[in-house]
Amino acid sequence: MRIQRGGHRGGTASARHVVAGLALCLGALTACSAFAEPSADEKRTADPPTTDAREAPLPGEDPASGDGTSSLDGKVIVIDPGHNGGNADHPSEINKQVKIGNGSKACDTTGTSTGDGYSEHAFTWDVSNRLAKILRARGAKVTLTRKDDKGVGPCIDERAAVGNRLKADAAVSIHADGAAASGHGFHIIQPIAVGKNAGMVPRAARLGRALRDAYRDGTGIAYSTYLGEDGIDRRKDLGGLNLSTVPKVFIECGNMRNKGDAAKLSSASFRQRIAESLAKGFASYLT
C-alpha cells in the first residue's frame, strides 16, 4: 500500500493552521507541514562545510576513472535545495498555482521536519551547500536554485528553469521525506515523460541509478521501506521534473519522521557524508 508521499509535496503553509493538521497529514496524503513548526534550526544558515582532503584527486589517480575523485572540470551542475525557510510565513505566495506541464500545482511547499524540529528546508540547504563545495573543488560549475534559507520559493517551475537556462549536465532536487514514522530509508524520484522533459528521461534514469548506488554505499542508509522499488520511484506530478529539459532527479534522503533516519539527518557529520556520497554519484554519471 502506498502511504503518504514525499515531504516535498508536504502541504501548504495555510495547512499549518488547520487544527486537525496532524490527522490530515497522516490521512490525506498532504498537510505534512503540520509538523513544520518554526524552530531555531530554521533560522540557521548552513554550517560552513569543512575542507576535506578527500575532495582533491590524489597524485597518480586516473582523472577519468569515475570513482568519485575524478575531475569535473567545466561540468554544469544545478542543485535545488527543496523548500525555503520563509515559505511557511507566506502562504499566499507559495500557494499560488503554477503550470507543471500536465496540470497545475502550488508554487512551493513548506516541507517537513524531524520530531525534534529540525526542518527539511534547513537540511536541504545545508546538504546542498556541502555538496556544492565538494563539486566546485573538483572543477564543476555549480548553481543553487535559491540563495539563502530565509526567503520564499522560488516556485517549482523556476527551480526547473534554472537548470534549463544553464543547459546543466545534471541536476538534483534535494529533499527529506515526511512519511509515517514506521517507514525508513531513502529513495530517488525519477521523471516520467510528460512532454517537455521527454528527451532527458533516459539520461535521468542513469543519473538516478548513479546517485542511488553512491548514496546507498556512502551513507549506509537502506532503500526506502515504504515507497519505490530498489530505492527508485517514478512520478509525473512534480513540476521540477516535468518541466526540466536537462537530466534531473529528486532524492528523498531519508524519512524525517522516523527516529533512526532523523538522528542521521540531524547530524552535521552525517550530512557531510551525504554530500560526499552524492558527489561520487555525480562523478560516476558525468565521467
H/E stretch holding 91: helix 91-94
Distance in Å, CB of 6 to Zn ion, minimum: 6
Distance in Å, CB of 250 to Zn ion, minimum: 8
* Count of CA atoms in the C-beta half-sphere (13 A) of 280: 16
Closest to Zn ion by CB, 70 vs 84, is: 84
Q: Quick check: helix, strand or coil at residue 188?
A: strand
Q: Which 111-130 residues touch Zn ion, going by CB under 5 A?
A: 111
Q: Does 7 bind Zn ion (CB under 5 A)?
A: yes
What distance separates the 2 farthest-apart alpha carbons in the chain? Answer: 61
- Ranges assigned E (strand) in 55-108: 76-81, 97-99, 104-106
Q: Does 11 bind Zn ion (CB under 5 A)?
A: no
Q: How far apart are CA 232 and CA 214, in angstroms?
A: 13
Report the residue from 4, 5, 8, 113 that binds Zn ion according to the rule CB under 5 A.
8
Report the residue from 21, 49, 68, 82 that binds Zn ion according to the rule CB under 5 A.
82
Choices 2-10, 52-60, 214-222, 268-276 (CB under 5 A): range interacting with Zn ion:
2-10
Distance in Å, CB of 10 to Zn ion, minimum: 6
Closest to Zn ion by CB, 10 vs 68, is: 10
Closest to Zn ion by CB, 142 vs 174, is: 174
Closest to Zn ion by CB, 5 vs 175, is: 175
Q: How far apart are CA 235 and CA 214, in angstroms?
A: 21
Choose among 203, 278, 193, 283: nearest CA to 242: 193
Q: Which 153-182 residues touch Zn ion, going by CB under 5 A?
A: 175
**What angle (nearest 5°) sits at the alpha carbon of residue 205, between those of residues 286 and 77?**
35
Residue nearest to Zn ion (CB): 8
Return residues touching Zn ion (CB under 5 A): 7-8, 82, 111, 175
